Structure 1
Amino acid sequence: MMARTKRSRRSYTAGEWGRNRVRVFPDPKTGILQIEWRENGRRLTRSLKHRDWSRAKQQADEFAARFNGPRPGDEQKAEPEPLTLETLFDIYREEVTPTKAERSRRYDSAAMKMFLGCFGRDRRPDTLSQRDWDVFIRERRSGKVGPSGRPVSDRTIEYDLRFLLAVLNWAARSRDEEGRLLLESNPLRGLRVPREKNPTRVVLTQVEYEGLLQASLGMDWRFRVALVIAHETGHRIGAICQLRWSDIDTEAAVIRWRGEHEKTGYEHRTPVTAEVLQVLEEARKRNPGIGDIPLLPAPKDPSTCVSRWLLRDWWQRAEVLAGLERKRGRGWHSLRRKFASDLMNQPLKILCELGGWKTARTVLQCYQRADQDQLRKALEDRRIARS
């Protein structure tokens, strides 16, 4: 099997936005350096036919100098090139997106492609209006817009539009090399974002968990290890998939959760329970290794981590083996909600540290859910206190 080459985000820019901006970057497939510039409003790219980074930077400087227009202070000042939505996304992708976690970087690229397909690459962002907002909501909701081609919930649409608002707000606070704001203001500011009226936030019950745990005995060992770690740590399955043996300290009973694999980009360490240590010992027997070897290797390629999609399929199979009726929203994330609800009596600061939440607000709004027994106990405690 051919090894996958990690896409490089290395790039070098010369010149100034709106005048003589030039960028060099490696082709993600071949590694051969490319040069990119704009001419008469069109983006042009050609190959430099080599991989010498120092030489490419010098070529970019020379190329930008040939297109150099009037300097600030000259008698006739060059008019800036109108900012298009594509150019704005390019600037944001170059300056802001790299600061985010890996999952957020992938989402940024997908969302930019989606909005460019909906509004047009040459659309000026300052001309966006309520009509564009409504069209996007309607077509995204029906599945006409989006990578999947299927209808999506209002929760997904809300997430998409908040990304667009974040880009426009950033542009309204950022200036070019001449000190001009990229956008005078956010043209979509104040518009109403659709919200899911009754979001499905299923909390896995203890009985259901025990059923899945029993079913895991007859399944691939990776599923059982992932199931126990998810239940005992409350972390996302995406982060669990990416764990490597170098992240595990069995002597100290601690797991390191890398920021690039966390949705929030928050790197942290958490203690683990005896149940986790037990399945880690099982994983060590099945998959011995040290360093950056995956804790849960892919069945067909042990050098890579198991995919979350395969674990999703295993979850559905485990539900069948456990005799559980299919329920929308009951998946790996329902274990994260169970973790937050099980520890409801703990201080929120402790819970956030254990589960990797950056803010307590998210826990209260989306994860913790009191069951009937907890509600009745609270009323009984109140009655005892009053009497």
Structure 2
Amino acid sequence: MSEHDPEVVDAELVDDGHLPALREDRTPAVRTVDEDPDAWLSPEAQEDVKAGIADGTRDGYEGDMQRFAAWCATVGRRPMPAAAQTVTEYLSHLKRTPRPRTGRPYGPNSMDRIIAGIRSSHRAAGFTPPDTMGARKVVLGYRAELAARKDPAAKPKKASPADRQVIRQALAKLDRTTPTGKRDAAVMLLGHAVASRGSELQPLDWPGSFTELADGGLRVTVYRKKRKRWQDIDIPLDPDPDLCTVRAVRSWVGALAENGYTDGALFRRIDQWGFIAAPMQRHGKPIGDPSGRMTVESLSDIVQRSIERTGLPGRWRSHSTRRGFVKSARKAGTDIVRIGRHGDWDDQSKALIGYVDEEDSQGEENPLAQIGKNAAAPSED
């Protein structure tokens, strides 16, 4: 949820018919529709709202609300409309209860998302969201406890930045004469060049998403899912052939053409025998995109697998190339506003500022290093 506003969701997330009945000794909160007779949405409008929410965000919130409702059923509390104390109790429960899959309780960041999901579910169902100040204080205290123990869970799980130097090392481990090597190189270099999220790289088509430029470069049209708008980005030829995004994309497109794919999905799966877009089955039934278009998760796997071969420590994901673009641009002395507009960050983006602050606190950009470099030589008096 690194770049999402956890409070901005108003989709139909919960089916009231599947929630436990209200306890007789509890007074339900007032439905918004009771306060304002026009405060309701038709099923069609609810579906239209859902279409404007990122799939991952919506799915996460739905799962969180289902688990909250199940816990309420076991303790005899009302999940909707939930009392503020119920939400606080639930977060306290999560803090102390190991999850079966990990053997550890939820981390603070996941708990923040859960609170946001409960609130958005209430809005969607026509209820005023419960006050969550107590629940947030539980999370705040939990984060402080973890920090005092130096527990890694206290820190946000950010993808490590894959800048040009990291990508160079990863590319050196690929066999770029093979279709797999050509594709994986194009994934990393294009992701870095357009500062894309995996979800923005995955739907690109050839040639549909690209325009040839007079200087030999390419213009790529990217749909920025976070901000719900299209963006055209010009990618020039790079003086370093090994790190040239345009050459890498053309090389991969050539491999696609040799295998009979001249239009449609740019990034397609390749099986263990080297066949592009080979049909996949599970239990005798076809699975996956029939065109062979890769999933966001599989693109992230490419970045992770390619960089991990280098032995470089870090948390490598498809988002690593987006973060890496910021690092590369800062190293080149690019203004933060130009960086943000290239990657379609809002001018006031906290995420971008956070990336820049991290980079500027390290190495030669560290303010202390700059002070030392520019300080006058001590007097010999």
TM-score of the aligned structures, taking structure 1 as reference length: 0.61
Tell me, yes or no, if the aligned pair for 1:255 and 1:269 is still in contact at 8 Å. yes
State the SS of the aligned residue for 2:233.
Answer: strand
Q: Could you tell me which of 315, 323, 347 is aligned with 1:329? A: 315
* Paired position in structure 2 for 1:253: 218
Give the total of aligned pairs: 293
Question: Which whole-Å CA distance do the structure 2 matches of 1:129 and 1:335 have between them?
Answer: 41
- 1:78-93 map, 5 Å: none
Tell me, yes or no, if the aligned pair for 2:267 and 2:294 is still in contact at 8 Å. yes
Question: Which whole-Å CA distance do the structure 1 matches of 2:228 and 2:95 have between them?
Answer: 28
Tell me, yes or no, if the aligned pair for 1:296 and 1:305 is still in contact at 8 Å. yes
Question: Which whole-Å CA distance do the structure 1 matches of 2:184 and 2:303 have between them?
Answer: 8
Question: Which whole-Å CA distance do the structure 2 matches of 1:89 and 1:198 have between them?
Answer: 39
Tell me, yes or no, if the aligned pair for 1:312 and 1:332 is still in contact at 8 Å. yes
Q: Could you tell me which of 286, 295, 298 is aligned with 2:266? A: 295
1:149-190: CA deviations, max 9, x gaps? 87543222222322333444x46xx9x7xxxxx33x633256
Report the residue type matching 2:49 in the other structure: V
For structure 1, the residue ranges without an aligned partner over 5 or more in a row are 1-35, 43-79, 177-181
* Paired position in structure 1 for 2:255: 286
- 1:92-107 map, 5 Å: 94=47, 96-107=49-60
Question: Which whole-Å CA distance do the structure 2 matches of 1:137 and 1:365 have between them?
Answer: 29
Q: Considering only CA atoms, is the larger Rg found in Structure 1 or Structure 2?
A: 1
Matched, 1:109 2:62: yes
Question: Which whole-Å CA distance do the structure 2 matches of 1:290 and 1:140 have between them?
Answer: 52
Tell me, yes or no, if the aligned pair for 1:100 and 1:265 is still in contact at 8 Å. no
Question: Which whole-Å CA distance do the structure 2 matches of 1:335 and 1:316 have between them?
Answer: 11
Question: Which whole-Å CA distance do the structure 1 matches of 2:166 and 2:248 have between them?
Answer: 19
* Paired position in structure 1 for 2:83: 128
Report the residue type matching 2:316 in the other structure: R
Question: Which whole-Å CA distance do the structure 1 matches of 2:369 and 2:326 have between them?
Answer: 18
Tell me, yes or no, if the aligned pair for 2:162 and 2:323 is still in contact at 8 Å. yes
> CA distance change for structure 1 residues 220 and 210 in 2, over 3 Å: closer, same or farther?
closer
For structure 2, the residue ranges without an aligned partner over 5 or more in a row are 1-14, 22-27, 33-39, 144-152, 238-243, 271-277, 280-289, 377-381
Report the residue type matching 1:214 in the other structure: A
Tell me, yes or no, if the aligned pair for 1:104 and 1:263 is still in contact at 8 Å. no
Measured after TM superposition, the shift of residue 305 of structure 1 is 1.7
Report the more deviating stretch, 344-353 or 270-279.
Answer: 344-353
Measured after TM superposition, the shift of residue 295 of structure 1 is 0.5
Report the residue type matching 1:216 in the other structure: L
- 1:241-280 map, 5 Å: 241-245=202-206, 246-251=208-213, 253-259=218-224, 262-274=225-237, 275-280=244-249
Q: Could you tell me which of 364, 369, 379 is aligned with 1:373? A: 364
Q: Could you tell me which of 108, 116, 120 is aligned with 1:162? A: 116
Tell me, yes or no, if the aligned pair for 2:195 and 2:322 is still in contact at 8 Å. yes
Question: Which whole-Å CA distance do the structure 1 matches of 2:119 and 2:29 have between them?
Answer: 23
> CA distance change for structure 1 residues 205 and 340 in 2, over 3 Å: closer, same or farther?
closer
Matched, 1:360 2:363: no
RMSD (CA atoms): 4.2
Measured after TM superposition, the shift of residue 255 of structure 1 is 1.4
1:98-150: CA deviations, max 9, x gaps? 322344343343334333333359935334333433434543774548x9887
Question: Which whole-Å CA distance do the structure 2 matches of 1:136 and 1:90 have between them?
Answer: 32
> CA distance change for structure 1 residues 341 and 208 in 2, over 3 Å: closer, same or farther?
closer
Question: Which whole-Å CA distance do the structure 2 matches of 1:110 and 1:149 have between them?
Answer: 19
Measured after TM superposition, the shift of residue 233 of structure 1 is 2.0
Percent identical among aligned pairs is: 14
Report the residue type matching 2:130 in the other structure: N
Question: Which whole-Å CA distance do the structure 1 matches of 2:307 and 2:295 have between them?
Answer: 19
Q: Could you tell me which of 140, 156, 175 is aligned with 1:199? A: 156
Matched, 1:340 2:332: no
State the SS of the aligned residue for 2:173.
Answer: helix
Tell me, yes or no, if the aligned pair for 2:192 and 2:325 is still in contact at 8 Å. yes
- 1:18-167 map, 5 Å: 94=47, 96-120=49-73, 123-136=78-91, 138-139=93-94, 142-144=97-99, 151-167=105-121
Q: Which contiguous aligned blocks of 4+ residues in structure 1 show a shift greater than 6 angstroms?
A: 36-39, 80-84, 88-92, 147-150
